[in-house]
Amino acid sequence: MIGMSEALLFYGGSPKLFEAYEPLLKVFGGNTVFLSDDPGIPLLYDMALLTILYGAGEGLLHAHAMVSTANIPASQFQPYVAEWLTNVIVPSYASLDAVRAIETGEYATDVSNTKTNQLALGHIIKASKELDIPVEWLKPSKAVLDQLVDEGYSNDDPIRAFEIISPVRRKKHK
């Protein structure tokens, strides 16, 4: 993707240097963004976004492994993956509503609450084990959902998990 207009490249450090060299930097990627005087912030953004990539990638491989046990070709399943990503995943996580909940700490929801997701992930883990598909990567997410349910947050949006995984939030609650 480097060198393409869609490439998203982050920069930090001296704003004056960035401004002076921005036309040259755009050669590496059209979506060139200055984030901060702190040169570590662009790396943090990059690692955070790659976390989303690797989580989604692991989920994609796991999904294909599940359907492959029924001899379903990946190409037959992939159109449904595309629909799911486009109509469920992206709208759920790319909207500002998700981050508003994180920023405000208000996790009320009328759909897909923590208990529902805890049960669903439990079923996925059980079925995956029965299909001989490794589930180790799913267990930490299930443990967080279990903790939220145990603490009385069954009816909240599962994005409340941020309160458990964010070191900044955990410090505020101590």
Answer whether residue 172 shows pLDDT above 80: no
The domains of the chain, with CATH numbers, are 1-39 (no CATH), 105-174 (1.10.1040.10)
pLDDT of 170 > 90? The answer is: no
Residue 100, amino acid: R
Least Cα distance to 130 among 60, 65, 58, 55 occurs for 65
pTM, 2 dp: 0.86
The answer for residues whose C-beta is within 8 angstroms of residue 158's C-beta and 6 or more apart is 112, 113, 114, 117, 118, 145, 148
Burial of 126-151, coded b for 16+ CB within 10 Å and e otherwise, reads eebeeeebebeebeebbebbeebbee
Mean pLDDT of 55-80: 97
Q: Are 113 and 156 in contact (CB under 8 A)?
A: yes
In the predicted model, is pLDDT for residue 173 greater than 70? no
Instruction: Summarize pLDDT for 118-163 with one digit per residue, the tens.
Output: 999 999 999 999 999 999 999 999 999 999 999 999 999 999 999 9
Output the pLDDT for position 117. 97
- pLDDT level of residue 58 (50, 70, 90 thresholds): very high
